[in-house]
Amino acid sequence: MPDTPSLTVLLFARYAELFGAAELRLALPQPATVAGVVEALRILPGGAALPLNPLVAVNARQARSDQPVSAGDELALLPPMAGG
Amino acid sequence: MPDTPSLTVLLFARYAELFGAAELRLALPQPATVAGVVEALRILPGGAALPLNPLVAVNARQARSDQPVSAGDELALLPPMAGG
Amino acid sequence: MAFLTELPLQLDALVAEVAAPECGGIATFLGLVRNHQEGRAVERLEYSAYHPMAEGECATIVAEAMAQWPVRVAVRHRVGTLLIGDAAVAVAAASAHRAAAFEACRYLIEELKRRVPIWKKEFFLDGSVDWVEPR
Amino acid sequence: MAFLTELPLQLDALVAEVAAPECGGIATFLGLVRNHQEGRAVERLEYSAYHPMAEGECATIVAEAMAQWPVRVAVRHRVGTLLIGDAAVAVAAASAHRAAAFEACRYLIEELKRRVPIWKKEFFLDGSVDWVEPR
């Protein structure tokens, strides 16, 4: 789909295992928000196990679920952080 | 005074400078208590500048001013501690 | 210097980085891989991170500490495979007085653990595997 | 190992001393000679101690910390002449969890400074000399 506006979704840790991938390319969903992307992910294989409100970053900054997203954005789904 | 019962007084830091010595030998005072030793020290040259109730250790353990002392004891006069 | 590294952490290097003639105290914290987790024997951990966001969030936390206390600070987190006793995270905070050094050091490690996108997978001696999640 | 030493303090050696497979965190504190004291430029410090009492009091403080927290600890204090940036005191506390390590480390340094018979004479760049006394 070279002409479809799309964005990149990065998956980490437990979430990467759910989807069997560390990176996905998604068509820009409707509505074009963080929540819209999460909804689109939830219907993919493995996506049903995602929490309803996962922590999401847009272009490496934490984002609220109603934040708009645009074609070309890099979204990251972040499991609970566990550094240290 | 080989036959006089005596004790050793160790002086540290500022107190050693007051007396110009790090160690003194004193005849066992009357009363034979920590306070008695401090009184005996206060009338020695330099001793007037001692505080009325300096911190004192007897045989390396902190002592109260009414603690008895015996011949052969090692008293230490301790300026306020300033380690670290 | 980068916050994330694949190399072993050197506490002495961190201390040298924050030391300065006006500093009277340096507080540090070293987080190590320990041999047990909720009663189970651990064999190793694998750390991963969302690198650009981790670097940015770390810089934000460092700036917060320097705004709150007169400190010089350094923080480093290791990624990759770590064995028992290996240092996963190292924090150092130097200040003229010790209270600020202690408080900033504690702030840095608490905020790093809470806010920086790093994850660890725990491999147990019995062969089981878990993603560690904060309680 | 003795608490007092005339040799330079090595933080890495202290950390190695307290580290153990069951420990997940090590908090340390390093007290350094700084270049100023109440606005005056410092040239050097001379530390002296009442050795037997200092060793005994240090052992007591260590025992108190180990009774209050599940920690492994090490403390060292240098005596003699120290220059700007030299470490005068080093404390390390290791525990399974970081809160205990931080709290024990802070307890040790606060109590050491308050209770151990150590004194320091400050030599200023302008030639003046002072015994440091706690405020």
> Which of the four pLDDT bands, split at 50, 70 and 90, describes residue C54?
very high
Which of B15, B14, B61 lies closest to B34 in space, CA to CA? B61
Beta strands in D24-128 (DSSP E): 25-32, 36-37, 40-49, 71-78, 80-83, 87-95, 118-124
Which of A74, A79, A78, A77 lies closest to A25 in space, CA to CA? A74
* Chain D CB within 8 Å of residue C40 CB: no
CA distance C116 to C109: 10
CA distance C86 to C71: 27
* Chain C CB within 8 Å of residue D34 CB: yes
- Mean pLDDT of the C58-82 span: 98
Q: Do C120 and A78 touch (CB under 8 A)?
A: no
Evaluate if residue C135 carries a pLDDT over 80. no
Radius of gyration of chain D (CA): 15
* Chain C CB within 8 Å of residue D2 CB: no
Cβ neighbours of C120 in A, within 8 Å: 82-83
Whether the CB-CB separation of D113 and D75 falls below 8 Å is answered with no
- Mean pLDDT of the C43-66 span: 97
Evaluate if residue C120 carries a pLDDT over 60. yes
Q: Per-residue pLDDT for chain B (84 aa), expressed as one digit of tens each?
A: 456 899 999 999 999 999 999 999 999 999 999 999 999 999 999 999 999 999 999 999 999 999 999 999 999 999 999 999
Identify the pLDDT of residue D47: 98
Cβ neighbours of D24 in C, within 8 Å: 31-34
Tell me which residue has tokens 């007092």. D4
Evaluate if residue D125 carries a pLDDT over 90. yes
Choose from D119, D130, D135 for mutation: most chain B CBs within 10 A. D119
* Chain C CB within 8 Å of residue D101 CB: yes
- Enumerate residues 6+ apart whose C-beta is below 8 A from C67: none
Question: Domains in chain B, please, with CATH?
Answer: 6-78 (3.10.20.30)
ipTM of the complex: 0.92
Cβ neighbours of D28 in C, within 8 Å: 11, 27-30
Identify the pLDDT of residue B61: 94
3-state SS assignment for residue A42? helix
CA distance C66 to C72: 7
Cβ neighbours of D77 in B, within 8 Å: 83-84
- Mean pLDDT of the D1-24 span: 96
What is the number of other CB atoms lying within 10 angstroms of the CB of residue B47?
Answer: 16
Q: Do D131 and B79 touch (CB under 8 A)?
A: yes
Evaluate if residue D17 carries a pLDDT over 50. yes
* Chain D CB within 8 Å of residue C8 CB: no
- How many Å lie between the alpha carbon of D21 and the closest alpha carbon of chain B? 30
* Chain B CB within 8 Å of residue D19 CB: no
DSSP states along B7-69: EEEEE-HHHHHHHT-SEEEEEPPSS-BHHHHHHHHHTSTTGGGS-SS-EEEETTEEE-TT-B-
Identify the pLDDT of residue A1: 47
> Which of the four pLDDT bands, split at 50, 70 and 90, describes residue D133?
confident
Identify the pLDDT of residue B2: 57
> Quick one: closest CA in D to C97, which residue?
D31
CA-to-CA separations, C80 to A73, C44, C77, C108, D13, in angstroms, rounded: 27, 10, 10, 22, 26
> Quick one: closest CA in C to A78, which residue?
C117
- Enumerate residues 6+ apart whose C-beta is below 8 A from C79: C4, C5, C6, C47, C48, C49, C118
* Chain A CB within 8 Å of residue C33 CB: no
State yes or no: cis peptide before A80, omega within 30 of 0: no
Subunits close to C (at least 3 CB pairs below 8 A): A, D
Q: Do D24 and C11 touch (CB under 8 A)?
A: no
Identify the pLDDT of residue C1: 77
Quick: pLDDT tens for D28-80. Answer: 999 999 999 989 999 999 999 999 999 999 999 999 999 999 999 999 999 99
C63's tokens: 């700036």
State the average pLDDT for chain C.
96
Cβ neighbours of D29 in C, within 8 Å: 25-28, 98, 101-102
- Mean pLDDT of the D12-21 span: 97
Beta strands in C6-105 (DSSP E): 25-32, 36-37, 40-49, 71-78, 80-83, 87-95
Identify the pLDDT of residue B1: 47
Residues of chain A under the 70 pLDDT cut? 1-3
CA distance D8 to B28: 41
* Chain C CB within 8 Å of residue D16 CB: no
